[in-house]
Amino acid sequence: MNRRTAREKAMQILFQHDFNDIDLEEAIEEFLEPEEHDEYLIQLIHGVKEHIQEIDAMINEYLVNWTIERIASVEKTVLRIATYEFNYLDDIPTSVSINEAIELAKKFGDEKSGKFVNGVLSKIQKK
C-alpha cells in the first residue's frame, strides 16, 4: 500500500472513530481487510490516537476564531494526521504532508476544506 492510500484509509478510520465514537480497534477491523494492515497505516492511526491531546493543542494554537471542537470532523481528522506527520515522523517532508492533507480535505470535505486545511497547516509548519 502506498502512503497516499494509507493516509486515506487512516483518515476514514479515524473519522469513524471520532464521528461515531466507536472503539479504534473495532473501526480498524470493520474498515480493513486482513491484507490491508499496512505498517504505515497502522502507525498513523495509533500515532494520532496516542498523541491526540498534544496534536489538538498544536492545532488549536493556530486556529483563528475557531476551536478544535468546532471544526468539522473531516477537516479535524485531516489536520490531526498531517500534524502527527509533522511532529512525530522524520522521513516525510512537511510540504508532502501539507499537499496530501489538502487532497484529502478536497476529496472528503466541502469546497472550502482544502483552503482551510492549507491555512492551518501553513501556520503550524512555520512553527
Helix 52-61 with 113-126: angle, nearest 10 deg: 100
CATH number (domain holding residue 108): 1.10.940.10
Q: List, for residues 42-96, the tens digit of each pLDDT value.
A: 999 999 999 999 999 999 999 988 888 899 999 999 999 999 999 999 889 999 9
In terms of residue numbers, what domain contains 95? 3-126
CA gyration radius for the chain?
A: 13
User: Would you tell me how many other CB atoms lie within 10 Å of the CB of residue 69?
Assistant: 8
In total, how many domains does the chain have?
1
Closest by CA to 86, choosing from 111, 58, 63, 60, is: 58
What is the model's pTM? Answer: 0.92
